[in-house]
Amino acid sequence: MYLTQLNVNNFRRLKDFSLNLNNGLNLLVGENNAGKTSIVDAIRVVLDTTSAEWVSLNATDFFVGESELLINLKFDDLSENETGIFLEHLTNEDVPAGNNRPVLYVSLSAKLSEHPFRKTQFIKTEIRSGANCDGPIIERDIREYLATTYLKPLRDAEAELSAGRSSRLSQILGSNSALAGDVDAIKRIIELLTQASQNIQSDMAIQTAQTNIASLLNSLTFKSNTFNPVMSLLGSNDYAEMSEPEKSQAIKSILEKLTLELDASGVKHGLGYSSLLFMAAELMLIKQEKDQFPLLLIEEPEAHLHPQLQLKFIKYLRAEKNQLQCILSTHSPVLASKAPLESLILMQDGKAFPLRKGSSKLAPDDYIFLEKFLDSTKANMFFARGVLLVEGVAEVVLLPVIAELLDRSLEDYGVSLVNVNGLSRKRYAKIYRSNPASKNPQHLPIKVACVTDVDLWPSEAEDTSDNDYGFKKKKRPKDTGQGGNLSYWLNELTDQQIQQKKDKKQEFDGELVKTFISDDWTFEFCLAKYGLGKEVYEAINGNTDSYDNLNEDDHIRAIQLYGSIEGKGDRKSEVSYSLSNILSKFKGRPEELKKKLPPYIIKAIEYVTEPLLTEVGSE
Of residues 495 and 157, the one with the higher pLDDT is 495
Q: What average pLDDT does the segment 93-98 reach?
A: 72
Q: Residue 542 region, left (φ>0) first, then alpha (ψ -120 to 50), else beta?
A: left
User: Alpha-carbon distance 256 to 180, whole Å?
Assistant: 13
Largest CA distance in the chain: 126
**What DSSP line would sit under 362-402, residue for residue?**
--HHHHHHHHHH--TTGGGGGG-SEEEEE-SHHHHHHHHHH
- Residue length, the chain? 619
- Is 298 strand, coil or helix? strand
User: Alpha-carbon distance 51 to 285, whole Å?
Assistant: 12
Of 354, 418, 401, 368, which Cα lies nearest the Cα of 5? 354
- Grade residue 618 by pLDDT with cuts at 50, 70 and 90: very low
pLDDT at position 600: 97
- pLDDT exceeds 70 at position 417: yes
Q: What is the pLDDT of residues 32-80, one digit of tens each?
A: 889 999 999 999 999 988 776 677 888 999 999 899 999 999 999 998 8
- Grade residue 178 by pLDDT with cuts at 50, 70 and 90: low
- To the nearest whole number, what is the mean pLDDT of the chain? 87
pLDDT at position 155: 67
Q: Residue 23 region, left (φ>0) first, then alpha (ψ -120 to 50), else beta?
A: alpha
- Grade residue 481 by pLDDT with cuts at 50, 70 and 90: low
pLDDT at position 542: 95
- Is 345 strand, coil or helix? strand
User: Alpha-carbon distance 516 to 599, whole Å?
Assistant: 10
Q: What average pLDDT does the segment 273-302 reach?
A: 79
- Grade residue 290 by pLDDT with cuts at 50, 70 and 90: low
* CB neighbourhood size of 514 (10 A): 17
Spell out the residues 6+ positions from residue 559 whose beta carbon is closer than 8 angstroms to its own.
458, 460, 461, 469, 470, 471, 525
Contact between 71 and 18 under an 8 Å Cβ cutoff? The reply is: no
pLDDT at position 118: 67
DSSP annotation of 93? E
Q: What is the pLDDT of residues 220-248, one digit of tens each?
A: 887 777 788 877 777 667 778 888 888 88
Q: What is the pLDDT of residues 530-580, one digit of tens each?
A: 999 999 999 999 999 999 999 999 999 999 999 999 999 888 899 999 999
DSSP annotation of 113? E
Q: Which of 61-75, 143-157, 293-307, 317-331 has the highest mean pLDDT?
A: 61-75
Dihedral of the CA atoms 529, 532, 536, 539 (nearest 10)? -170
Q: Residue 308 half-sphere exposure, CB side, CA atoms within 13 Å?
A: 1
Lowest average pLDDT, out of 74-83, 270-279, 385-394, 594-603, goes to 270-279
Share of the chain above pLDDT 90, in %: 51
- pLDDT exceeds 90 at position 160: no
User: Alpha-carbon distance 56 to 71, whole Å?
Assistant: 13
- Is 446 strand, coil or helix? coil
Q: What average pLDDT does the segment 284-306 reach?
A: 80
Contact between 286 and 178 under an 8 Å Cβ cutoff? The reply is: no
User: Alpha-carbon distance 214 to 8, whole Å?
Assistant: 63
In this prediction the pTM is: 0.84
Of residues 591 and 280, the one with the higher pLDDT is 591
pLDDT at position 36: 93
- pLDDT exceeds 60 at position 619: no
